[in-house]
């Protein structure tokens, strides 16, 4: 069934409600991104309450990631078939219902099933909010719209562990899902009331069922492999090897099929646009580096420095505050200068932040841990808005939702790769450092002997004293591994600048979405 939507209302019609609609759209993005990280710190609590092991509890994360990874690339097709506004609002409502069901889940299988539903229906939320935010602002304010969107996308992963830890520590874990209900209802109501008259034309598109099936197979296999690889010791596990083989074969078959399909489920022709291809590559590299640190630093602080989830989150919180304060200023000026300059500045600032973190010590003060993240906040305010200005340059209006969905899918996948690579690197590099530190230690070393004597004089037995020193050795090894990671990230950020300047200079205002 094909239907033509009413033509979009003049921009003036939205003048009074634009701020409220923009807030609702930003909340939709924030809510979805938040749910990718908020459950991570609550897994031990959830597993304990449901009577399962923490390893089994990690399926709460994996199930959401797999379903979301499959649904995000379908955004372009869904929005052409049902309209941008309708697709977004329905997605938000279904996400809200799924969040409520997660909150009342009575067992691990039921929670996993509801998380699969939550991930599957949330795919259009991020691309939809981005496209609609751009569409409701006049051309000279498109940069500001992207700034609002990028602000929520970068701040939400930081807020997730803080909220998740605080709720788990002070209330009960179902509330990490139930808090979505009032936000989701508000977002859906405001967006529908404010934008239903701006619905885009709908087209009766055939379903590329084979392409969809291949997408489900290779993306599902890849996400499960990335999420469970570390627990299964990667390719030492037959399970992981099988998933890797299925993912590679499925991906190759998917590419061959989609390139020859008249109505593909994913529009790969977007990569013919140089700025989209290079901009997406730079976006994925930058986000992978950023997200790897978002995962590693709280994990290190909770495991070895004695911080709880809430305080580890508070260390990162100031960077989000800085990004929130500066993003509107960047968005206001992004159209006046070459967006590649802002992108370059963001990577340089990120590099400075990582090099500062490479000087961390285990006994540093709270302020010393916060300072590099304040610097990172400056880079965050420029990163997304400049990347989007580059990758959307030259993309026809009708393809913006598809471009947004595809770039977000690749960004999310890059984040999954980053999480798996970073945690594996951290553990294995720490083991290497611990071996070297142990080799440098000896019972004939006076400093070691003195430390043992001091501990034993304090009331510890010899095995207990050796155990305490071994723990200190482990802490130093993991600290050194974290510092190596931050150092590598700093150089990767500087290398990424090369890709920014391989793109053309963006010209003209940021594209409106199909709603324009």
Q: How far apart are CA 474 and CA 386, in angstroms?
A: 41
Torsion of CA 175, 316, 481, 469, to 10 degrees: -80
* Section 181-198 average pLDDT: 88
Looking at per-residue pLDDT, the higher value among 516 and 28 belongs to 28
- Looking at every residue in the chain, the average pLDDT score rounds to 81
Q: Tokens 């998740």 appear where? A: 164
So what's the pLDDT on residue 10?
Answer: 43
Per-residue pLDDT band at 452 (split at 50, 70, 90): low
Backbone angles phi, psi at 291, to 5 degrees: -70, -35
Reply yes or no on whether the pLDDT at 12 is more than 70: no
Q: How far apart are CA 233 and CA 27, in angstroms?
A: 38
Q: How far apart are CA 492 and CA 487, in angstroms?
A: 9
Q: Tokens 């010209």 appear where? A: 507
* Section 111-126 average pLDDT: 89
Backbone CA torsion sign across 8, 12, 18, 22:
positive
Take residue 428 and report the two structure tokens written for it: 């294995």
* Section 124-150 average pLDDT: 75
Q: How far apart are CA 51 and CA 46, in angstroms?
A: 8
So what's the pLDDT on residue 323?
Answer: 82
Q: How far apart are CA 274 and CA 280, in angstroms?
A: 10
Q: How far apart are CA 166 and CA 34, in angstroms?
A: 14
Mean pLDDT highest for which of 316-325, 355-364, 439-448? 355-364
Per-residue pLDDT band at 447 (split at 50, 70, 90): low
Per-residue pLDDT band at 514 (split at 50, 70, 90): very low
* String of DSSP letters for 426-447: HHHHHHHHHHHHHHH--TT-HH
Looking at per-residue pLDDT, the higher value among 298 and 103 belongs to 103
Distances (CA, A) of 250 to 64, 257, 402, 467: 21, 10, 22, 48
Mean pLDDT highest for which of 104-118, 341-355, 370-384? 341-355
Query: Cα angle vertex 160, ends 159, 165, to 5°?
Result: 105
Q: How far apart are CA 85 and CA 197, in angstroms?
A: 9
* Section 135-157 average pLDDT: 71
Q: Tokens 């070459």 appear where? A: 338
Torsion of CA 329, 331, 336, 342, to 10 degrees: 90
Of 14-23, 120-129, 387-396, the least confident: 14-23
Residue 205 exposed, middle or buried by CB count within 10 Å (0-12, 13-18, 19+): middle
Per-residue pLDDT band at 64 (split at 50, 70, 90): confident
Reply yes or no on whether the pLDDT at 388 is more than 60: yes
Helix (H, G, I), strand (E, B) or coil at 130: helix
Residue 6 exposed, middle or buried by CB count within 10 Å (0-12, 13-18, 19+): exposed
Reply yes or no on whether the pLDDT at 62 is more than 90: no
Mean pLDDT highest for which of 13-17, 228-232, 367-371? 367-371
Reply yes or no on whether the pLDDT at 85 is more than 80: yes
Q: Tokens 């999310």 appear where? A: 412
Q: How far apart are CA 7 and CA 195, in angstroms?
A: 12
- 149-158 per-position pLDDT tens digit: 667 776 777 7
Reply yes or no on whether the pLDDT at 316 is more than 60: yes
Looking at per-residue pLDDT, the higher value among 303 and 496 belongs to 496
So what's the pLDDT on residue 512?
Answer: 37
Looking at per-residue pLDDT, the higher value among 296 and 493 belongs to 493
3-state secondary structure 376-418: HHHHHHHHHHHHHHHHCCCCCHHHHHHHHHHHHHHHHHHHHHH
- Long-range contacts, stretch 230-237, CB < 8 angstroms, 24+ apart: 230/420, 230/423, 230/424, 230/427, 231/55, 231/58, 234/424
Per-residue pLDDT band at 283 (split at 50, 70, 90): very high
* Section 384-406 average pLDDT: 82
Reply yes or no on whether the pLDDT at 14 is more than 60: no
Reply yes or no on whether the pLDDT at 507 is more than 80: no
So what's the pLDDT on residue 54?
Answer: 63
Per-residue pLDDT band at 442 (split at 50, 70, 90): low
Looking at per-residue pLDDT, the higher value among 209 and 19 belongs to 209
Burial 401-430 (b: 16+ CB within 10 A, else e): bbbbbbbbbbbbbbbbebbbbbbebbeebb
């Amino acid at each position: 069934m094909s239907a033509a939507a009413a033509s979009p209302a003049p921009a003036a019609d939205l003048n009074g409600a634009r701020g409220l609609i923009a807030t609702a759209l930003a909340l939709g993005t924030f809510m979805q991104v938040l749910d990718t990280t908020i459950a991570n710190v609550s897994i031990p609590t959830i597993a304990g309450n449901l009577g399962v092991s923490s390893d089994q509890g990690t399926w709460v994360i994996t199930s959401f990631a797999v379903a979301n990874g499959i649904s995000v690339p379908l955004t372009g097709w869904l929005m052409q078939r049902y309209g941008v506004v309708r697709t977004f609002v329905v997605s938000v409502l279904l996400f809200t219902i799924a969040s409520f069901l997660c909150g009342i889940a009575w067992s691990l299988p039921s929670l996993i099933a509801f998380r699969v539903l939550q991930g599957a229906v949330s795919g259009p939320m991020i691309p939809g909010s981005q496209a609609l935010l751009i569409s409701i602002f006049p051309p000279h304010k498109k940069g500001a719209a992207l700034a609002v969107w990028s602000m929520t996308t970068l701040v939400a992963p930081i807020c997730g562990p803080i909220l998740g830890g605080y709720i788990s520590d002070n209330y009960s874990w179902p509330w990490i899902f139930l808090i979505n209900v009032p936000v989701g209802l508000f977002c859906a109501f405001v967006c529908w009331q404010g934008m239903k008259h701006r619905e885009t034309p709908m087209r009766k598109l055939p379903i590329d069922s084979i392409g969809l099936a291949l997408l489900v197979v290779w993306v599902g296999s890849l996400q499960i492999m990335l999420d469970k690889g570390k627990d299964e010791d990667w390719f030492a596990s037959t399970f992981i090897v099988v998933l890797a083989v299925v993912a590679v074969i499925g991906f190759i078959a998917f590419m061959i099929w989609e390139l020859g399909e008249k109505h593909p489920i994913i529009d790969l022709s977007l990569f013919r646009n140089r700025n989209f291809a290079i901009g997406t590559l730079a976006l994925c590299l930058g986000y992978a580096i950023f997200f790897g640190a978002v995962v590693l630093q709280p994990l290190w602080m909770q495991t070895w420095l004695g911080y709880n989830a809430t305080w580890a989150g508070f260390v990162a919180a100031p960077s989000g505050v800085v990004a929130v304060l500066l993003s509107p200023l960047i968005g206001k000026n992004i159209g006046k200068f070459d967006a590649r300059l802002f992108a370059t500045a963001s990577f340089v600032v990120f590099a400075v932040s990582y090099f500062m973190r490479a000087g961390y010590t285990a006994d540093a003060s709270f302020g010393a841990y916060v300072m590099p993240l304040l610097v990172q906040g400056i880079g965050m305010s420029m990163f997304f808005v400049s990347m989007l200005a580059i990758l959307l340059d030259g993309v026809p209006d009708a393809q913006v939702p598809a471009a947004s969905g595809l770039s977000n899918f690749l960004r999310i996948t890059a984040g999954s790769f980053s999480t798996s690579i970073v945690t594996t690197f951290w553990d294995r590099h720490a083991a290497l450092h611990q071996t070297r530190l142990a080799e440098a230690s000896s019972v004939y070393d006076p400093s070691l002997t003195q430390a043992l004597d001091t501990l034993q004089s304090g009331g510890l037995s010899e095995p207990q004293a050796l155990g305490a020193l071994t723990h200190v050795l482990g802490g130093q090894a993991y600290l050194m591994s974290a510092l190596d990671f931050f150092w590598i990230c700093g150089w990767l950020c500087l290398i990424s600048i090369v890709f920014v300047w391989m793109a053309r200079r963006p010209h003209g205002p940021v594209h409106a979405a199909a709603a324009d």
